[in-house]
Chain A
Amino acid sequence: MRNIYKLLIVLMVSSAAGNLMAQDNISTFKPFLEHRIVAGLNFGATAPMGFPNTIRAIDGYWPEFSPALGYELSVRASEKWGAAIGVKMDFKGMGTKDEVQYFHTIITVQDGSSTGTFEGLFTGKNKTIARNAYVTFPISAVFTPSNNWRFSLGGYMAWKFSANFHGNVSDGYIRNGGPTGEKVIVDEATFDFSSEVRNFDVGFQGGAERRVGKKLSVLGNLAWGVRPLFPSDFKGLDFPLYNVFLMLGVSYKI
């Protein structure tokens, strides 16, 4: 997994550098820097890649208020090619209601010096709210085909500064230990896995920007996390979740 991140970074840097060098022979163009303020809202999900068959129905989905605000520094190396880095405060949130069947979970709790665990198979309803906040550093190769359009593709690294992953299970039962364990009715029970959310996220991102004013553009940017939200030793959910969010917003050139 770590190698994938390295590869990603190398690819981005080298493609940007390659573009810079490729433009050396154009003497009339002078490279210049651009500064932008970017603001928007994130829409998306902290979701599995393909639903496991233990998820039987999605009864509801809603985006949580997830603002993003940041600054981007870009260098236009040639008329059409450049590179950009940025820093962004990114909230990524959503809520969902679903129904699951035979859903495997292991909940580990620290009790002073001892560790308690509960393992079981849950069948019933689930409601989850995920709202995590990151400081994100996107890095991109930028293609500017015309005055009006601007496209970027690259990756991002993000450090979490606040985590929220909680919800409840209801109207069902859990089998203690596994499929042959005793049935325990669950009217309603809450869970909170916030403290388990990983500190670091990394992924791909790309977007398109359309100029609508002298300095103002509207933009969309998809950020696709490739690192599971929870560490591999976390067994509360038996499948990995990834942050996949589309930011819709504006950028203002300063």
Chain B
Amino acid sequence: MIKRTLCFGAILATLFSSSCIKDAPLSPEADIDSFIVDQDDLTGAVFIDEANSRVQLYLTQDAYENGIVPRVVAIPGATVEPANGDTLKFDQVTGAGLTSYKITSQDGKYHKTYTVSVVNIGVWAWDFENWVVQDPSKYMYPIEPDSSVIWSSGNPGIALAGVQKDPKQYPLRDTTEPYHGQYCAVLETRGGTALSSLVGIKLFAGNFFLGVFDSRYGLSNPLASTQFGQPYRGRPKRFRGYYKYQPGPIYQDKAGKQVAGATDSCSIYAVLYGGTTRLDGTNIQTSDRIIAVAKLADASAKSVYTRFDLPFIYLKDVEQQMMLAIVMSSSYKGDQYEGAIGSRLLVDSLQIIHQ
């Protein structure tokens, strides 16, 4: 009998002893925590694009010419090569001199190489002819002739929602129904996924904007992850382009319930605002930093390519440091997860006319 008790005791002891907390694992993460550049050298805040291993810099004329000395800080435990202190020089014309940093994880098993690129929008006009597919999530985004990236969309966020890894499954992609050239952008409102409906998102409006997508807020605050605008100098006068729009058949509210009699409409606007940090989906229409707005009024169905030519309406005078955003959506209330699945907006040949 005592033996039996001992036997059971031994089993229990095994259970508890094997359940002890082990030593902390070495970090497998390899990432940049911050990329610090002298504020005087910047026209816009540095953006670390973790999804695409890219550091995007927005530099002043002086910084282009003289180079910058950034301080690259890796996450705790990880190491950076090359070490800090080197001057980075950029050639404004060819884009040469771009450089990269290699981050190695604390456990030594993982590496991530960041490319530093300088974003410099010379001509504010786009035909959306060059598209690339992001790896590994397989969504598309357009690139500029110099390969820089200035346009973004909600695609990187939708990639987190368990969408099939196929460009056609995402709301923004290219298509061969252009107004001009070979390609244009198509924005299509889509139904949510099983994962997104867990967080109450039953619909993804197609969206497309000048700016960046900050994945950090992709789940916790999706509207804050769409960060609108690129550094701008001057005084924009008009926002022009071509679009075609077909609303989806059934309009639904945030809960996914059909709203009888409602028709979806698209949304196309440009916003000029002051500062060097971006406005986002929570404040792009309401911030007191807004200087001027150009907004498409007639957002109804257009079966053929239709030209728009919108004047910037100024609320206040231009400033030294500004950003300009272009924001488009295939569902007018897409930021509230309302719209019609299947709503389809095509845009091409966009242009900002300066004064």
What residues make up the interface of A, taking CB atoms closer than 8 Å to B?
47, 49-58, 101-102, 107-111, 114-118, 121, 145, 149, 151, 173-177, 179-187, 189-190, 206, 208, 222, 224, 244
- Are A51 and B31 in contact, CB atoms less than 8 angstroms apart? no
Q: Mark B265-301, 1 if CB is under 8 A from A, else 0.
A: 0000000000000000000000000000000000000
Chain B residues in 8 Å Cβ range of A222: 8, 11-12
A residues in contact with B50, CB < 8 Å:
181-183
- Are the C-beta atoms of A58 and B21 separated by less than 8 Å? yes
CA distance A185 to B216 in the complex (A): 5
Bound Cα distance A118, B8 (Å): 42
Task: Tell me whether B112 is interfacial, beta carbon within 8 Å.
Answer: yes
CB-defined contacts of A187 to chain B, threshold 8 Å: 219-220
- Please pick, from B4, B19, B156, B162, the residue contacting A117 in the complex, using a CB distance under 8 A: B162
Contacts of B93 in A (CB 8 A): none
Q: Contact between A208 and B15 (Cβ–Cβ < 8 Å)?
A: no
Chain B nearest CB: distance from A87 CB in Å?
24
A209 to chain B minimum Cβ distance, whole angstroms, is 11
Q: Which of A111, A149, A174, A224 has the most chain B CB atoms closer than 10 A to its own CB?
A: A111
Residue of B nearest to A244 (CB): B15
- Once the chains bind, are B136 and A206 in contact (CB under 8 Å)? no
Tell whether A53 pairs with B11 under 8 Å between CB atoms, given A109-B193, A208-B4. no
Interface string of B6-46 (1 = CB under 8 A from A): 00100110010011111111011111000000000000000
Give complex CA distance A54, B22 in Å: 8
Tell me whether chain B's interface is mostly helix, strand or loop, or mixed: loop
Q: Is the CB of B217 within 8 A of A185?
A: yes
| Closest residue on chain B to residue A143 by CB atoms | B4
Task: Assess whether B194 is in contact with A49, with CB atoms less than 8 Å apart.
Answer: no
Q: Is the CB of A185 within 8 A of B219?
A: yes
Across the interface, do B219 and A183 meet the contact criterion of CB distance under 8 Å?
A: no
B1 interfacial contact with A, CB 8 Å: yes
Q: Are A118 and B160 in contact (CB under 8 A)?
A: yes
- What interface size band does chain B fall in? 35 or more
- Minimum CB–CB distance from B249 to chain A (whole Å) comes to 18
- CB of B105 within 8 A of CB of A179, answer yes
Identify B110's interface contact among A51, A179, A244, CB under 8 A: A179
User: Inside 8 A of A174's CB, which chain B residues have their CB?
Assistant: 219
Provide the bound-state CA to CA distance between A145 and B4, in Å.
Answer: 12
Whether A175 touches B29, Cβ cut-off 8 Å, given contacts A184-B160, A184-B216, is yes
Whether the Cβ atoms of B215 and A182 lie closer than 8 Å is yes
| Contact indicator A186/B219 (Cβ below 8 Å) | yes
Per a CB cutoff under 8 Å, which of A51, A53, A109, A224 touches B194? A109
**B213 closest partner in A (C-beta):** A182
- Other contacts beyond A180-B112, A183-B216: 12, CB < 8 A: A49-B18, A51-B21, A102-B29, A116-B162, A116-B193, A151-B4, A173-B216, A175-B29, A183-B50, A184-B216, A185-B217, A185-B220
Asked if B159 is an interface residue, CB under 8 A from chain A, the answer is yes
Chain B residue numbers with a CB within 8 Å of A176 are 51, 137, 159-160, 215
CA distance A124 to B4 in the complex (A): 42
A107 contacts B162, C-beta separation under 8 Å: yes
Asked whether any CB of chain A lies closer than 8 Å to the CB of B164, the reply is yes
Can you give 9 contacting A-B residue pairs, CB < 8 Å?
A50-B19, A51-B22, A53-B24, A110-B194, A177-B136, A180-B29, A186-B219, A208-B8, A224-B11
CB neighbours of A179 from chain B (8 A): 28-30, 105, 109-110
B195 and A181 form a contact (CB under 8 A): no
B96 within 8 A of A: no
Closest Cβ–Cβ distance, residue A1 to chain B (whole Å):
20
Please name all residues of chain A whose beta carbon is closer than 8 Å to the beta carbon of B1 when the two chains form the complex. Answer: 145, 149
CB distance from A56 to the nearest CB of B (A): 6
Contact B19 A47 (CB under 8 A): yes
A-side contacts of B347, CB under 8 Å: none
* Given contacts A109-B195, A187-B220, A52 and B112 within 8 Å (CB-CB): no
B237 CB, min distance to chain A CBs, angstroms: 37
> Is the CB–CB distance between A116 and B161 below 8 Å?
yes
B215 with A52: CB separation less than 8 A: no
